[in-house]
């Protein structure tokens, strides 16, 4: 029994450990898809787009008739009286004032008093009203266009957020590749120094090297170990950032499919790329639609000068009712009408609003011209950086080959006793720098192409 319990607990512990340290291999495309499906900011942008869609739907209902129902009950302390106290008293004593034999005028006056009572202390009313706009000065149509443009702007904003997310994922992805390659490079450099340390120790024992040479090698070895720790920590942080972008647990051990891709891909910048495609960037589309929105706001401001016309119709029900004298029962009647509102004097308020709207249109046009100039400059800069990154990569390849040959000659010279230890250390340092520069140049070329595509608005 004890053996069974121990075996069960061990399996549970191992399963938990495996779940906590899950290893997952992903490609760049998979990282993008995970980020798109789990990014909170992108989800909020899409919800804003959905909200703008509903707002446009609500704006369209302004064309349609509105039907509303209203109910009311009111208790008053006194009822509405059609007769004064003096008139009621006169009717009650009508027979005393006018005496006609055989005619009960007092009773007749009392009946008249009762007939003219309204008994409005308890009033109940209900109404159903229909209102159909006929002419509102064009503001309904302008408002519908504004909400339509607002929905398109929300869609462009969601697309812009998607592009920014893809750029961030790609940056993180290739930074992890760079750090992983540099980690392997640092480990290889440590092995080189350890081999040199072993050789120098033998040379010291044989009297062909000094203790200072041995100490110099050990200093380099310690520096290399510190560098490896820094690179390893940076790599762990970047992996956690990628997990956060992809919506995964922070302790997920991500392995990227391109972690061994230390060589750059040639012709990253397509020769047939349309370098005028930046005119269709989401930022510019949003600004163009903002101009149209401001133009519609000018129309709304002008509509304040124009009359508005609406048709009305309904049915009114009340208790007590007044359609057949005052009756203590529900009764009602229908009604139709036309409502016209003509603005006459507002002390220039409408004129000021129209001028303000026109000013905003001019501001929007100037703003989009400024943004276009900056984007064109950005595109040209990105093109130059792609060319520069390519040239740097080609130079880095040549430097690596020279550093490899230099290190080979230095190691051979050290074994033959014709080159001092300091020269070998310099050759190893140059070898490390050349390989590190090649890794950075490879990643920089990929990122430069990425930024060019982003500036052209071609990232999908």
**End-to-end alpha-carbon separation of the chain, Å?**
60
Same domain, 268 and 374: yes
pLDDT at 360 over 90: yes
**Structure confidence at residue 8 (pLDDT):** 40
Burial (Cβ within 10 Å: 0-12, 13-18, ≥19) of residue 177: buried
**Structure confidence at residue 7 (pLDDT):** 42
**Structure confidence at residue 15 (pLDDT):** 42
Alpha-carbon span 301 to 330, nearest angstrom: 46
Q: What number of CA atoms fall less than 13 Å from residue 302's CA on the CB side?
A: 10
**Structure confidence at residue 108 (pLDDT):** 74
pLDDT at 414 over 80: yes
**Structure confidence at residue 379 (pLDDT):** 92
pLDDT in tens, 177-207: 999 999 999 999 999 999 988 888 888 888 7
Alpha-carbon span 448 to 230, nearest angstrom: 25
Q: What is the DSSP letter of 325?
A: B
**Structure confidence at residue 99 (pLDDT):** 62
pLDDT at 385 over 80: yes
Q: Tell me what the mean pLDDT of segment 172-179 comes to.
A: 94
**Structure confidence at residue 274 (pLDDT):** 66
**Structure confidence at residue 204 (pLDDT):** 86
- Dihedral sign, Cα of residue 433, residue 438, residue 440, residue 444: positive
Alpha-carbon span 224 to 232, nearest angstrom: 12
DSSP for 144-213 reads HHHHHHHHHHHHHHHHHHHHHHHHHHHHHHHHHHHHHHHHHHHHHHHHHHHHHHHHHHHHHHHTSS-HHH
Same domain, 285 and 227: yes
CB 181 within 8 A of CB 263: no
Q: Which domain holds residue 364?
A: 137-306+347-456
CB within 8 Å of 264: residues ≥ 6 apart = 390, 393, 441, 442, 445, 446
Residue 57 lies in a domain: no
Q: Tell me what the mean pLDDT of segment 107-115 comes to.
A: 73
**Structure confidence at residue 105 (pLDDT):** 65
Same domain, 96 and 208: no
Residue 11 lies in a domain: no
Domain count, the chain: 2
Which segment of 38-42, 239-243, 264-268, 316-320 scores lowest on mean pLDDT? Answer: 264-268
CB within 8 Å of 10: residues ≥ 6 apart = none
| Mean pLDDT of all residues belonging to the chain | 86
Q: Tell me what the mean pLDDT of segment 361-366 comes to.
A: 95
Same domain, 256 and 180: yes
Q: Tell me what the mean pLDDT of segment 121-125 comes to.
A: 87
The vertex-67 CA angle with 63 and 72, nearest 5°, equals 145
Same domain, 221 and 352: yes
The reported pTM is: 0.80
Same domain, 245 and 371: yes
Alpha-carbon span 255 to 37, nearest angstrom: 20
How many other CB atoms are there within 10 angstroms of residue 432's CB atom?
22
pLDDT in tens, 330-344: 889 999 999 999 888
Residue 362 lies in a domain: yes
Query: Which residues pair with residue 229 across a beta bridge?
Result: none
**Structure confidence at residue 87 (pLDDT):** 74
With CA atoms as reference, report the closest residue to 185 among 403, 39, 384, 444.
Answer: 403
CB within 8 Å of 5: residues ≥ 6 apart = none
Which segment of 10-19, 217-226, 392-401 scores lowest on mean pLDDT? Answer: 10-19
Same domain, 111 and 248: no
Q: Tell me what the mean pLDDT of segment 261-288 comes to.
A: 71
With CA atoms as reference, report the closest residue to 231 among 173, 187, 280, 276.
Answer: 187
CB within 8 Å of 115: residues ≥ 6 apart = 325
pLDDT at 89 over 90: no
Alpha-carbon span 320 to 230, nearest angstrom: 89
The two structure tokens encoding residue 68: 């509303």
Q: Tell me what the mean pLDDT of segment 28-48 comes to.
A: 93
Residue 14 lies in a domain: no
Task: Return the higher-pLDDT residue of 182 and 90.
Answer: 182
Alpha-carbon span 396 to 233, nearest angstrom: 26
**Structure confidence at residue 460 (pLDDT):** 76
Same domain, 276 and 362: yes
**Structure confidence at residue 203 (pLDDT):** 85
| CATH for 167 | 1.20.1600.10
Same domain, 113 and 185: no
- Band the pLDDT of 13: cuts 50, 70, 90: very low
Q: What share of the chain is helix, strand, coil (3-state, %, to 5)?
A: 70, 15, 20
């Amino acid at each position: 029994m004890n053996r069974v319990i121990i075996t069960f607990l061990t399996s549970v512990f191992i399963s938990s450990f495996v779940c906590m340290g899950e290893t997952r291999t992903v490609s760049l495309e998979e990282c993008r898809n995970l980020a798109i499906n789990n990014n909170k900011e992108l989800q909020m942008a899409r919800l804003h787009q959905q909200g703008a869609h509903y707002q446009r739907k609500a704006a369209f209902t302004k064309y349609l008739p509105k039907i509303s129902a209203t109910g009311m009950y009111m208790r008053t302390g006194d009822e509405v009286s059609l007769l004064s106290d003096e008139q009621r008293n006169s009717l009650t004593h009508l027979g005393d004032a006018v005496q006609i034999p055989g005619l009960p005028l007092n009773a007749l006056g009392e009946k008249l008093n009762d007939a003219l009572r309204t008994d409005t202390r308890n009033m109940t009313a209900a109404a159903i009203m229909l209102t159909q706009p006929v002419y509102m000065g064009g503001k309904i149509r302008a408002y519908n266009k504004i909400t339509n443009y607002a929905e398109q702007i929300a869609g462009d904003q969601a697309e812009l957020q998607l592009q920014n997310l893809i750029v961030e994922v790609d940056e993180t992805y290739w930074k992890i590749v760079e750090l992983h390659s540099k980690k392997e490079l640092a480990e290889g450099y440590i092995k080189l120094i350890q081999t040199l340390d072993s050789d120098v120790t033998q040379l010291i024992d044989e009297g062909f090297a000094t203790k200072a040479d041995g100490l110099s090698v050990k200093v380099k070895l310690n520096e290399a170990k510190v560098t490896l720790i820094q690179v390893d920590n940076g790599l762990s942080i970047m992996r956690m950032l990628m997990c956060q972008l992809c919506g995964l647990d922070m302790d997920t051990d991500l392995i990227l499919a391109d972690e061994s891709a230390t060589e750059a891909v040639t012709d990253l910048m397509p020769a047939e790329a349309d370098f005028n495609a930046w005119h269709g960037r989401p930022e510019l589309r949003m600004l163009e639609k903002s101009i149209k929105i401001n133009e519609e706001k000018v129309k709304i401001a002008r509509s304040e000068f124009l009359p508005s016309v609406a048709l009305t119709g309904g049915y009114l029900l009340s208790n007590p009712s007044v359609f057949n004298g005052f009756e203590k029962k529900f009764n009602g009647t229908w009604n139709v009408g036309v409502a016209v509102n003509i603005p006459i004097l507002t002390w220039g308020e409408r004129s000021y609003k129209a001028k303000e709207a026109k000013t905003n249109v001019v501001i929007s046009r100037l703003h989009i011209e400024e943004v276009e100039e900056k984007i064109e400059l950005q595109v040209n800069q990105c093109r130059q950086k792609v060319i520069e990154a390519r040239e740097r990569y080609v130079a880095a390849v040549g430097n690596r080959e020279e550093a490899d040959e230099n290190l080979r000659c230095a190691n051979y010279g050290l074994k033959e006793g014709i080159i001092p230890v300091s020269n070998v250390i310099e050759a190893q340092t140059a070898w490390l720098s050349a390989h590190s520069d090649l890794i950075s140049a490879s990643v920089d070329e990929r990122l430069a192409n990425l930024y060019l595509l982003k500036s052209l608005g071609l990232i999908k």
